[in-house]
């Protein structure tokens, strides 16, 4: 049994410091905004960010007026409403250090949140889109999951209860190209943040069908699989972490029942992780199915730990 580790020639060994050119953050003007703004305070102080755009999405509504007056009334109403909402967004960030950032713009769009976010992210060429998640939301994780499927840039989901800090990064690894991207970003982020940051790579493994084995051989099989994954980790980190390998911790977790996302979430909580970085899949149907089985479900589970999906 041998876990396959991606091999690439001419792989760049050194990770540059993490920077963001265009950051798009959605504000709902609700309780989740506080966590988003606190996190942006921390992030913009630790990471070079060139441009910030704050977006609020208005639901589409119909004006019950005659056709002659409807368009004019809509224009006037929207102008007044836009000014009110912009003023409210400015008021909310005025108490935050990020308000001192010289390149902050405000935008208001009307429509469905997902479509508006995607359009704005494309227009703004956002390389990091940030959204909040309310703890009590009945549709917890749905917007984040749909955004993850379709957005082109990196996505950061900040739960309402998440502390604004990055001291311990958890990187789920399946030894794919997406894992490489997540690890590279984690190393770049650690290099950028001044305070010490711990990185733990974890892999969820599953034992083969043990019905064909004698009961007394189960522990031997478990040991073989664990040793194989740990050896794969050494090859993986030796190839993609290089000199940083000594500072990266590795853990393997056995999956016995339930989805992989639950094990990632439980592990991150157990070791006091405060940011999960994982690779997002692409746009093909197969990749969407794979994403749906892990990253999307993780976003529906995690109420305390931010998740950064890497494209």
pLDDT tens column, 59-97? 775 544 445 444 444 444 456 678 888 998 999 899 899
Check residue 134 and give its pLDDT.
80
Cβ neighbour number for residue 17 with a 10 Å cutoff: 13
Q: What is the pLDDT of residues 278-287, one digit of tens each?
A: 887 633 444 4
Residue 7 lies in a domain: no
Average pLDDT over residues 131-155: 76
CB distance 302 to 276 below 8 Å: yes
pLDDT for residue 222: 83
Name the more confident of 197 and 289: 197
Domain boundary, last residue among 129, 159, 189: 159
Q: What percent of the chain has pLDDT over 70?
A: 78
Same domain, 33 and 150: yes
Predicted confidence (pLDDT) per residue in 164-185, tens digit: 999 999 999 988 888 899 999 9
Residue 135 is given by DSSP the state: T
Higher pLDDT, 208 or 1: 208
**pLDDT attached to residue 224:** 87
Tell me, yes or no, whether 80 and 172 share the same domain.
no
The percent of residues in the chain predicted with pLDDT above 90, rounded, is 41
Per the model's pLDDT, the better-predicted residue between 299 and 4 turns out to be: 299
Task: Select the more confidently predicted residue: 139 or 271.
Answer: 271
Residue 49: pLDDT band with limits 50, 70, 90:
very high
Q: Is 116 helix (H, G, I), strand (E, B) or coil?
A: helix
Q: What is the mean pLDDT of the chain?
A: 81
Q: Are both 191 and 140 inside the same structural domain? A: no
Out of 140, 159, 178, pick the residue that ends a domain: 159
Count of domains observed in the chain: 2
Residue 27 lies inside a defined structural domain of this protein: yes
- Is residue 47 within 8 A of residue 189, CB to CB? The reply is yes
Give me the CATH number covering residue 203: 3.40.50.620
CA distance 305 to 311: 19
Q: State whether 269 and 232 are in the same domain.
A: yes
144 and 174, same domain (yes or no): no
Distances (CA, A) of 218 to 203, 206, 212, 224, 284: 20, 12, 10, 10, 38
Residues 153 and 248 in one domain: no
| Contact (Cβ atoms closer than 8 angstroms) between residue 271 and residue 119 | no
Given 128, 159, 190, the domain boundary residue is 159
Q: 183 with 63, same domain?
A: no
| Res 20 pLDDT > 90 | yes
On the question of pLDDT at 143 being above 90, the answer is: no
Same domain, 109 and 176: no
Structural domain of residue 182, as residue ranges? 168-306
Close Cβ partners of 128 (under 8 Å, ≥ 6 residues apart): 20, 22, 23, 24, 153, 154, 155, 156
Is residue 4 in a domain? no
Query: Does residue 290 surpass a pLDDT of 70?
Result: no
Tell whether 149 and 62 lie within a shared domain: yes
Judgement on whether residues 177 and 128 belong to the same structural domain of the protein: no
For 222-276, what is each residue's pLDDT tens digit?
A: 888 889 999 999 899 989 987 777 789 999 998 888 788 889 999 999 999 999 9
In the structure, what pLDDT confidence band is assigned to residue 10 with cuts at 50, 70 and 90? very low
| Tokens read off for 150 | 């379709």
């Amino acid at each position: 049994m041998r876990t396959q580790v991606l091999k690439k020639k001419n792989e760049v060994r050194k990770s540059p410091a993490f920077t963001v050119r265009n950051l798009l953050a959605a504000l709902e003007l609700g309780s989740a905004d506080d966590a988003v703004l606190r996190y942006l305070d921390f992030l913009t102080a630790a990471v070079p960010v060139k441009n910030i755009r704050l977006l609020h999405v208005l639901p589409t509504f119909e004006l019950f007026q005659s056709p002659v007056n409807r368009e004019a009334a809509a224009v006037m109403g929207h102008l007044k409403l836009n000014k009110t909402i912009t003023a409210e967004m400015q008021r909310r960030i005025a108490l935050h250090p990020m308000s001192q950032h010289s390149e902050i713009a405000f935008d208001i769009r009307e429509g469905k949140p997902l479509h508006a976010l995607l359009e704005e992210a494309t227009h703004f060429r956002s390389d990091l889109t940030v959204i909040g998640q309310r703890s009590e939301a009945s549709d917890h994780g749905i917007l984040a999951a749909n955004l993850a499927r379709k957005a082109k840039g990196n996505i950061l989901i900040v739960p309402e209860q998440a502390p604004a800090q990055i001291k311990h990064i958890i990187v789920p690894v399946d030894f794919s190209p997406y894992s490489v991207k997540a690890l590279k970003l984690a190393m770049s982020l650690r290099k950028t943040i001044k305070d010490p940051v711990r990185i733990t790579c974890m892999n969820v493994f599953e034992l083969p069908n043990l019905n064909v084995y004698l009961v007394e051989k189960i522990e031997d099989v478990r040991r073989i699989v664990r040793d194989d994954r740990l050896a794969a980790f050494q090859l993986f980190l030796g190839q993609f972490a290089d000199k940083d390998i000594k500072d990266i911790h590795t853990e393997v977790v056995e999956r016995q029942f339930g989805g992989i996302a639950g094990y990632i979430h439980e592990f991150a909580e157990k070791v006091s992780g405060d940011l999960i970085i994982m690779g997002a899949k692409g746009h093909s149907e197969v990749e969407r199915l794979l994403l749906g089985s892990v990253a999307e479900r993780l976003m529906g589970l995690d109420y305390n730990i931010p998740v950064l999906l890497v494209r």
